[in-house]
Amino acid sequence: MALKNDQYNQIMREYDSRQLQNKHDLDRRRQEAFAAIPELKRLENEMITLSAQSGRMAILGDTSCLMQLKEQSQSLKQRQIELLLSHGYPENYLTLHYQCSKCKDTGFIGTEKCNCFKQAITDLLYNGSNIKTILAKENFNNFSFAYYSDDYIDETLGSSPLSNMQKVVASCKTFIRHFDKKRDNLLLLGNTGVGKTFLANCIAKELLDKGYTVIYLTAFHLFDILEKYKFGKDEENAYQAANQFSYILDCDLLIIDDLGTELNNTFTTSQLYLCINERLLRRKSTIISTNLSLDNLNTNYSERIYSRIISNYSIRRIIGDDIRLRKAISEVRGS
């Protein structure tokens, strides 16, 4: 599905803004560095002079002189780097920094949309999910094993909540590490508050940082979109839902959170199968989190869905106390 002109222009304005900000940040860094290390400015002026001389030599076809000028310029550049490092600055301090190094904040690699542009589209289409704000807090840097007990052994798993979670996290990091080759799927099972959503968001953050497109939807939101796509009569909403549906099937990673909390009926069952099966056919990864057991998944949905999940998803069960409840109790005691 194509974006409307105003949607496309909105995204391109954001890229224009990024490029202007990048240039502003570079100008600020240059002023700071030149003030702290005046020799940097002198070296840069010499490189500008050499560049002008190289241009004249190129026109004249003097290749031997061009090589000499290139070596002199590289020597000056290396001297700049040495000065920066010796004064505690990174070696790339005087170059443009980009949010996306692949497309250099243009949104395109050649004529193809960069993955960051595709993610910008998903962010625009799913602006209610507020995923970037959430991921600033819910990521592996903020993940803690402290909420998982090592005081008892779960009979069904044969390990403590802590030991089990350490294994689950390790498998999730393997999922991330091999994502570009294997495109696996994950089913996260567990009671309310044990960290399923937090862990899914940790994975999302890592893959977004690697340039993959990620869509996070609660089960309720997913089926609301699918219902509007299937039955929507309002032209504007139908167009939006069609765009959303297209990206649901084609994004690199789809996260369906809290499956089982939606109103379950024949429509949701058929649409869930469509979503799961189509993404399997396209070799696109999906993470599903749910409070339901495997038996309940089989009972609440269909044998076809259950079979697809059992055959194609790595199943990870998370056990432990309700972390949200523990945090709330701690806050009350600390106040």
What percentage of the chain has pLDDT greater than the value 90?
A: 60
Lookup: tokens for 272: 């869930």
Distance, in Å, from the CA atom of 214 to the CA atom of 205, rounded to the nearest integer, reads 9
Could you read off the pLDDT of 214-251 as tens digits, one per residue? 999 999 989 988 888 888 666 666 677 788 888 899 89
114 lies in some domain: no
Boundaries of domain holding 53: 5-106
Place of tokens 């960051």: 116
**Are 98 and 147 part of one and the same domain?**
no
Tell me how crowded residue 97 is: count the other CB atoms within 10 A of its CB.
14
Domain termination site, one of 106, 139, 172 = 106
**Are 256 and 166 part of one and the same domain?**
yes
User: Of 318, 321, 324, which Cα lies nearest the Cα of 290?
Assistant: 318
**Are 49 and 178 part of one and the same domain?**
no
Judged on CB neighbours under 10 Å (0-12, 13-18, 19+), 95 is exposed
113 lies in some domain: no
**Are 266 and 156 part of one and the same domain?**
yes
18 lies in some domain: yes
Could you read off the pLDDT of 22-63 as tens digits, one per residue? 999 999 999 999 999 999 999 989 888 888 777 777 776 767
Predicted pLDDT of residue 333: 62
**Are 38 and 159 part of one and the same domain?**
no
Predicted pLDDT of residue 63: 72
Lookup: tokens for 158: 């044969």
111 lies in some domain: no
User: What three-state secondary structure class fits 15?
Assistant: helix
Predicted pLDDT of residue 225: 87
Q: Which residues, 6 or more positions from 97, have their beta carbon under 8 angstroms from its beta carbon?
A: 22, 25, 26
Predicted pLDDT of residue 62: 66
72 confidence band (pLDDT: 50, 70, 90): confident
Q: Which residue has the higher pLDDT, 91 or 5?
A: 91
Helix and strand numbers (H, E) in the chain are 14, 7
Q: Which residue has the higher pLDDT, 72 or 172?
A: 172
Distance, in Å, from the CA atom of 97 to the CA atom of 111, rounded to the nearest integer, reads 22
Q: Which residues, 6 or more positions from 145, have their beta carbon under 8 angstroms from its beta carbon?
A: 162, 165, 166, 169
Is the pLDDT confidence value at 326 over 90? no
pTM: 0.74
Q: Which residue has the higher pLDDT, 281 or 11?
A: 281
Could you read off the pLDDT of 181-205 as tens digits, one per residue? 888 999 999 999 999 999 999 999 9
Distance, in Å, from the CA atom of 62 to the CA atom of 54, rounded to the nearest integer, reads 9
Place of tokens 């697809």: 308
**Are 223 and 296 part of one and the same domain?**
yes
260 lies in some domain: yes
**Are 178 and 288 part of one and the same domain?**
yes
Would you say the C-alpha torsion 281, 284, 285, 289 has a positive or negative sign?
A: negative
**Are 169 and 285 part of one and the same domain?**
yes
265 lies in some domain: yes
Predicted pLDDT of residue 1: 46
User: In whole numbers, what is the pLDDT of the chain averaged over residues?
Assistant: 88
Predicted pLDDT of residue 219: 94
Could you read off the pLDDT of 304-325 as tens digits, one per residue? 999 999 999 999 999 998 887 7
Overall domain count for the chain: 2
Predicted pLDDT of residue 237: 66
Tell me how crowded residue 18 is: count the other CB atoms within 10 A of its CB.
18
Lookup: tokens for 178: 């091999």
Domain termination site, one of 73, 106, 139 = 106
Predicted pLDDT of residue 51: 80
Distance, in Å, from the CA atom of 7 to the CA atom of 36, rounded to the nearest integer, reads 44
Q: Which residue has the higher pLDDT, 302 or 286?
A: 286
**Are 56 and 168 part of one and the same domain?**
no
Is the pLDDT confidence value at 2 over 60? no
Is the pLDDT confidence value at 335 over 60? no
121 lies in some domain: no
128 confidence band (pLDDT: 50, 70, 90): very low
Residue 191: CATH number of its domain: 3.40.50.300
316 lies in some domain: yes
Predicted pLDDT of residue 243: 80
**Are 31 and 136 part of one and the same domain?**
no
Predicted pLDDT of residue 331: 62
**Are 145 and 100 part of one and the same domain?**
no
Is the pLDDT confidence value at 4 over 80? no
Domain termination site, one of 106, 137, 162 = 106
Predicted pLDDT of residue 136: 87
**Are 251 and 185 part of one and the same domain?**
yes
